[in-house]
Structure formats: structure tokens, C-alpha cells
Amino acid sequence: MLVMYRPCDEDSSSCSSNAGTPAPSCAASENEDTDPEGEEKLCTVCGDKATGYHFHVLSCEGCKGFFRRSISKGVSFTCPFTRNCTITKTKRRQCQACRLQKCLDAGMRKEMIMSHESLMIRRALRNQKKQDRLQRLQAPAPGGLSEEQEQIIELLKHSHRKNFNDTMPMIFELKPPERLFAHARRTNDRRRCWSPGSLSLSPCSLSSASEECLSSDSEMSCEGQGRQQNEEYVGSSEAALLLQHFSDLSTFMIQQLIKFAKDIPDFRGLSMDDQIALLKGAAFEVSQIQCNTIFDEDTLTWNCGELCYSIDECIIVGIHQLYLDLAMRFHLNLKKLRLHEDEYVLMEAIALFAPDRPGVLQRDIIDQIHERMALTLQCYIQQRHPLPEGRFLYAKLLSLLTELRTLNVENTKEILLMQDRSANSVSPLLKELVS
């Protein structure tokens, strides 16, 4: 189950800047090895959630920063009470003298606080390592990618194939409605009239009503008409069955995405809070990229073996036409680029490791992973994707990833609208995803 992230304590000066900083390797390190994943560890000083061993004591970011500042500045605190104040998460700011004394009693070591010069040296070493890593990535072996880039691609492809395939046999356990099987049998005889220059996805060209809906002056009336139509659709038994199936299918896709991410060592190495933040932010985007691999641009359908999904089913359950138009345009634009499997999985990784997701703490670490995936995709296109398709392909993919961000926002709105219309139509996992 996904959970909301809790912001760092406000009195920690190092929360935003050092939360994602790896521990230095020198003996006088401020941060020692953190505990492995398991039960939650508590700060020895105040009882808040501990982030690791700091100055030889299991502590939180707040007490870590407080101890460093107090010792570095040589501040002398005086207890206004009886020098025996209770230090807890909520009371730790009431008496700095007793808090500092408890830090010392817990075993925090003054000599482990690094001087300004030592900190500058450590930062210089870290920057040098980052530059060396980028140079290794940007310098592929003669006639191909670097060994590290090859390993990244193979790992991503293995995880993708294990958790997502063209036929998706696990879908049949979700009891799809008979309509989806019947629709698959009719697919070969159906073609839709849709052009990239028009937002209409109706079987024919834009109707006068659709044109009015697309104009800015008629935006409010169009929204009202769409809401009325959606309520009528959801009221039908067929819509209810499809809506339940889509909810189950979305939940299944998210579960597969979690398994996909867990197979990536870089993802497993992040904190649990950051893993949750990345999954919540990227679930829809990665799922859309995966679904594009089974998208048929001739029939505008997604084919999963004997099942066939189309825009018709989305309209029946009440999804707005304008959102569907934008989603269809994204899938058509992505499909026509004729991507290789390697490029698809790298796009998924770039979407997953986005350092600007809400709730992310270790932004520096995630940004390094994101940059490594992006450089691997760029090098792959230069080395392996033939011209003329490969020309400007990297720039086009970045543009589509940006477009996918907008679709992500609109998708959240659609899920919230469905939840308002029918509280039971959205699974708990989907509710948590858009919370």
C-alpha cells in the first residue's frame, strides 16, 4: 500500500540539502551506514524516525543538524528549568541545553563533526566522481555503447519482459466483460477516421457539436454536456461492469509497475519514502509507455491476445472526450517513431526516476540516476537507431515525456471525477495514488 510522505523536521538545516547525500568514506564521517530495510528505527535522542547513524548515534535529521550546529558554533545553552527536561519529538525545541546534553549522553561524538575545510574536500571529491561517471557514460566503446550502458539496457529489458508482455495473460483472471472479446473479433473489419490535425476521435470527422466544445467560448457548456453524458453512461449495467474491470486493470498495472521498479537495483537502493514518491508520480506515465507497445495505430486499439480495448469502452465508462483525444494523440505520435524495445524501457526508466516528483527527499541521488538513464538513451539512439528515423529522435522523446506529464495531471482529474460519481468504482490503490 502506498503511503503519503512525511516532510522532514523543520529544525533540520540539512534536510533538503543533505538528505540524498551518500556517506563519505573517511573514518571521521558524519554519517555512518544506515540500517537495512526492516522495522522502523527511532531517534535515540527524541524518538522521531531515525534516518541512520549520525556522529555514532542512531538519530533523526533534526537532532543530527542540531548537534552539528551547536558544536560547530560553540554555543553555550542554559536550561531555564531544572536541567532535566523531557526531550521528545514535540518538545525537543523547548530546551536546547537538555537536548544537547541528551545528544552527548546518547554517545554523539564531537570529534566526528567535519571542519569546513573537510566538507569542501568531500564535496570536491564527490563532484569529481560525478564528472568521472558522466565521462564513462558519454564515452561508449568503439562501435557501440559502454559496458555500463549495455548492462542498464539488459537489466531494464529483463524486468520489462518479466512483468509486462504483449498478451498479458494475467488480465483474464480479472474477469473482463464479454464486450471486450466481441470487440476483438470485430477489430479487423473496423477502421476509424482520425487525423493528427483534428482532436475528434468520433468514427467520422468533427461534428458541429464537437467543434463548439473545442472553442474557448463554449468550454463551460461542453463540460456540462460531457458530465451529463457521463452520468448516463455510468448508470448502465455495461458501464458498471467496464468501470469495475478498468479499476481492476489499473490496479494490476500498478502492481506490475511496482515489481518492475523493484527489479532495478538503483530503485531498491533508495529510501522507502522516495520509492513511494516515485511510484505515485510515475505510475500513470510508465503504464502509458508500456501500453504503447501493444497499441495498433491502424485500428486505434490496444490488443492483449484475445482482448481488445478501444476508445469506445472509455467513453462508455464516462471518461471525457477531450482527455481521450489528447491521450490518443500521444499514443499515435509515440507509435509512429518506431521505437526499439531498448528505447521503450529507457523511456520508462526516465519517467520513473524523475527527481522533481512531489515528496522526493534524495533529489541529488535520483537526479544522477535520471541523468544516467537519459544519457544511455541518447547514446543508444546515436549508435543503434538508423537514419532517417533516428534524426532528432531523442528530442522528440523528451518532448513526449513532457506531454505525458500533462496527461498525468488530466488522468488524476478523471479518476477523481469517477470517484465523485461512484465511490466504489475506484480501487483503494488508485485512491491512494491520486491522494
Higher confidence at residue 338 or residue 129? 338
Q: What is the pLDDT of residues 6-16, one digit of tens each?
A: 333 334 333 33
Helices 272-292/341-352 angle, 10° precision: 150
Distance CA 275, CA 268 (A): 8
- pLDDT at position 270 over 80: yes
SS3 348: helix
Average pLDDT rounded to a whole number, residues 132-149: 68
Q: What pLDDT score does 143 carry?
A: 54
Average pLDDT rounded to a whole number, residues 295-316: 82
Q: What pLDDT score does 222 carry?
A: 38
Per-chain mean pLDDT for the chain: 76
Of the chain, the percentage scoring pLDDT greater than 90 comes to: 39
Average pLDDT rounded to a whole number, residues 131-153: 73
Q: What pLDDT score does 171 carry?
A: 58
Confidence of residue 261 (pLDDT cuts 50, 70, 90): very high
Q: What pLDDT score does 177 carry?
A: 59
**Amino acid at position 209, single letter:** A
Alpha carbon distances (Å) from 285 to 229, 347, 354: 27, 10, 11
Nearest CA to 342 out of 96, 216, 161 is that of 161
- pLDDT at position 388 over 50: yes
Q: What pLDDT score does 27 carry?
A: 38
CA quadruple 134, 140, 145, 147: dihedral, nearest 10: -70
Q: What pLDDT score does 156 carry?
A: 94
**Amino acid at position 191, single letter:** R
Q: What pLDDT score does 175 carry?
A: 61
Average pLDDT rounded to a whole number, residues 21-36: 42
Q: What pLDDT score does 206 carry?
A: 27
Distance CA 223, CA 227 (A): 6
Confidence of residue 211 (pLDDT cuts 50, 70, 90): very low
Residue pair 122/24 in contact by the 8 Å Cβ criterion: yes
- pLDDT at position 233 over 70: no
Average pLDDT rounded to a whole number, residues 295-303: 87
Residue pair 139/327 in contact by the 8 Å Cβ criterion: no
Locus of grid cell 529489458: 157
Does this model's pTM top 0.75? My answer is: no
With residue 196 as reference, give the H or E element that holds it.
Answer: none
- pLDDT at position 271 over 90: yes
Confidence of residue 239 (pLDDT cuts 50, 70, 90): confident
Distance CA 59, CA 368 (A): 26
Confidence of residue 247 (pLDDT cuts 50, 70, 90): confident
- pLDDT at position 103 over 90: yes
∠ CA(86), CA(88), CA(92), 5° rounding?
Answer: 85
Nearest CA to 261 out of 240, 278, 236 is that of 278
Distance CA 296, CA 58 (A): 54
Q: Using DSSP bridges, classify how beta strands 301-304 and 307-310 pair: parallel, antiparallel or unpaired.
A: antiparallel
Cell representation of residue 18: 543533505
Distance CA 138, CA 125 (A): 20
Distance CA 176, CA 193 (A): 27
SS3 233: helix
Average pLDDT rounded to a whole number, residues 63-90: 92
Confidence of residue 129 (pLDDT cuts 50, 70, 90): confident
- pLDDT at position 191 over 80: no
Q: What pLDDT score does 158 carry?
A: 92
- pLDDT at position 25 over 70: no
- pLDDT at position 232 over 60: no
Domains along the sequence of the chain with CATH: 15-114 (3.30.50.10), 147-434 (1.10.565.10)
- The answer to which of 192-201, 341-350, 396-405 has the lowest mean pLDDT is 192-201
Backbone dihedral angles phi then psi of residue 359, each to the nearest 5 degrees: 90, -5
